[in-house]
Amino acid sequence: MTVRIGTMSVDGTPISEADLARIEAEEQLHAAQQRSAVRVVAASALDADDCRMLLSVLGLDRETVRAARGDRADGSGKRRARRRTAA
């Protein structure tokens, strides 16, 4: 059985297609976890300054925040209206 080589690593050793697929899956998982972290921080922050500080501490940049804003559970990318509660 012959294995096709997708690319070469930094040290010049070949990377198989299976390894490339695994790397891609790990990158997608990492990105999803970052987007989830942004949503958790935004939901628990006291105000905008607190949110910015917490995101900075976690190393989450503006691109990650933008991705989290467009990544909705229903896939629409639109903001959901908040329910108002009686005071």
41 Cβ neighbours under 8 A, 6+ residues apart: 51, 54, 55, 58, 60
Q: Is 0.85 surpassed by the pTM of this model?
A: no
Assigned domain for 20 exists? yes
Assigned domain for 1 exists? no
pLDDT digits (tens, 9 = 90+) for 48-85: 999 999 999 999 999 999 989 887 655 554 555 556 56
Instruction: Give yes or no for a contact between 85 and 63, defined as CB atoms under 8 angstroms apart.
Output: no
How far is the first Cα of the chain from the last one, in angstroms, to the nearest whole number? 70
Looking at the structure of the chain, the number of domains it has is 1
Assigned domain for 64 exists? yes
Torsion sign over Cα 83, 63, 54, 26? positive
Domain extent at residue 22: 15-70
Assigned domain for 25 exists? yes
Assigned domain for 83 exists? no
Assigned domain for 48 exists? yes
Instruction: Please name which of 56, 76, 75, 74 lies closest in space to residue 65, comparing C-alpha atoms.
Output: 56
Assigned domain for 81 exists? no
